[in-house]
Amino acid sequence: MRRLTARLRRDTAVPAPPPPPPAKKVARWILTPPGDLADDDRAALAQITGRCEELKQAGALVREFADMLCNRRGERLEAWASQAQDSPVSELRGFARGLRTDWAAVTAGLTVSYSSGAVEGHVNRIKMIKRQMYGRAKPDLLRKRVLLAD
């Protein structure tokens, strides 16, 4: 009897569905341009977004914002922000609301070609040297370290 029931269970057993991919992997798939994804990753992302409409909308909005960042298309920011605020994803609504608090700076950052990134990098480097030297030397030695450090 035991053998027959074991065979019956084995023959009628429904295989367990594969576990869902980790959230970090799905986020990486969304942030990667579709042309750079492997075929199996693209298929897995299509399967996941086919089951969840919110994830599909979030992926489209994230890709559109990434395109605006990479290609400096700030003129599309207003339309994107209104779509994000109408989105069912609360994180995107909050992000769009945060962008609107400093709208002029965000628009300038997405449209103007120049950046203060190099200056910010030097300021960060100087602050790091200052933290390393805290309590160890006077301003003249700090000045020498900042000027001689590469």
Q: What is the pLDDT of residues 66-76, one digit of tens each?
A: 999 888 888 89
Q: DSSP secondary structure string, 21-36?
A: PPHHHHHHHHHS-GGG
Residues 68, 72: Cα–Cα separation, whole Å = 5
Report the alpha-carbon distance of residue 103 to residue 89 in Å, rounded: 21
**CA nearest to 78, candidates 106, 113, 115:** 106
* CA–CA dist 81, 86 (Å, integer): 9
Is residue 25 within 8 Å of 17, Cβ to Cβ?
A: no
Q: What is the pLDDT of residue 141?
A: 86
106 pLDDT more than 80: yes
pTM check: above 0.85: no
Separate counts of helices (H) and strands (E) for the chain: 9, 0
Report, as an integer, the average pLDDT of 115-134: 88
Query: Region 114-139: what's the mean pLDDT?
Result: 86
